[in-house]
Chains A and B, each alone.
Chain A
Amino acid sequence: MNKKKRNDYLLIASCLLSAILLLFFQSGFFVNKGGEVSVTYHSKEIGRYSLHQNIMIPVEEDGAYNLIEIVDGKAIMKEANCKDGQCMKQKAISLKGESIICLPNKLVITVENGTDSQLDGISF
């Protein structure tokens, strides 16, 4: 019995450890600031927007309504008509690879490379 109990705690420890390792592994990925966000609806891209601007982007696709706001180089989901409203609770995104996902409306906002700094815009 004691051996089983020990195994339980080993199992819990290894689960938590793998979560921590994954988190570290990921933090290596999410370090670079992205330049633009890509908005996809039903896995089709419907728009790209630079993060270096302050705008509101309303997305209306058959019954689904989402309002994305870009402010200070970060994108957030401002409004959504989805049932659970989880997307509005997700934190603002600005690093490459981060995303906000609205599952009920199948809308995904992902930060991508784009132009890393505004310099690129004038250096050509």
Chain B
Amino acid sequence: MKKITNLGLLLAFGLILSYIESLIPFGFGIPGIKLGLANFAILLCLYTYSGKDAFVLNISRIMLSGFLFGNLYTIIYSLAGGMFSFVAMYLLKKTDKFTMKGTSVIGGVFHNVGQIIIAAFVVSTKGIFYFIPYLIVAGVFSGFIIGVIAQQVMPHIITLKETHQ
């Protein structure tokens, strides 16, 4: 039961981050660039609970934030970005060779790259791939910052989880 409550809290946290993200103009004229703040919640879930929980959390977060703050197209983009980043983070965590920072960075990079691949399908232009290097760099930076914060927060989350059980 405690787990459901905690997952609900993480989902609410992810939704708030999605909302904050929708308020911050962070585009630099490049389609597909996102801060990827909501990755924070997914990252915490991935490290406190299982990959399956993080997956369900990710899908629910994208659907809810898409209907609340976006439209069908933003859902498609977020879903693509979310899935790409989730699979990448999950596999990287499974290798157990990286810290949360590395996982977060790969999540940020794949989030942006996944979105641009879908965008390339939607507008069917190869020209959009021109933006990929910038998107990788943006993903590394946002992923790194989120990773650093997550590493600081993580010990507290673990204590919370254990004391309440």
Per-residue 0/1 for A1-33: is the Cβ within 8 Å of any B Cβ (1 yes, 0 no)? 101110110011001101110110010001000
Q: Which residues of A contact B28 (CB under 8 A)?
A: 89
- Residue ID in chain B nearest A83 by CB atoms: B71
Per-residue 0/1 for B119-147: is the Cβ within 8 Å of any A Cβ (1 yes, 0 no)? 10011110110101110110110001000
Interface window among B3-11, B43-51, B94-102: B94-102
A15 and B136 within 8 A (CB):
yes
A8 to chain B, nearest CB (A): 4
Question: B29 is contacted by which of A91, A104, A106, A108 (Cβ under 8 Å)?
Answer: A91
Flag whether B27 is at the interface (Cβ < 8 A): yes
Q: Which residues of B contact A106 (CB under 8 A)?
A: 122-123
Q: Which residues of A contact B144 (CB under 8 A)?
A: 12
Q: Which residues of B contact A104 (CB under 8 A)?
A: 73
Q: Which residues of B contact A18 (CB under 8 A)?
A: 136
A79 to chain B, nearest CB (A): 15
Q: Which residues of B contact A89 (CB under 8 A)?
A: 27-29
B33 to chain A, nearest CB (A): 9
How many chain A residues have a CB neighbour from B under 8 Å?
35
Flag whether B150 is at the interface (Cβ < 8 A): no
B147 to chain A, nearest CB (A): 8
A122 to chain B, nearest CB (A): 31
Flag whether A86 is at the interface (Cβ < 8 A): yes
A20 and B124 within 8 A (CB):
no
B133 to chain A, nearest CB (A): 4
Q: Which residues of B contact A91 (CB under 8 A)?
A: 29
Flag whether B105 is at the interface (Cβ < 8 A): yes
Query: Which of B73, B123, B124, B140 has the largest count of A CB atoms less than 10 A from its CB?
Result: B123
The interface of chain B, by Cβ under 8 A from chain A, is 27-31, 73, 97-99, 101-102, 105-106, 109, 119, 122-125, 127-128, 130, 132-134, 136-137, 139-140, 144
Some 5 contacts from A to B, beta carbons below 8 A apart, are A19-B134, A22-B133, A26-B133, A86-B29, A103-B123
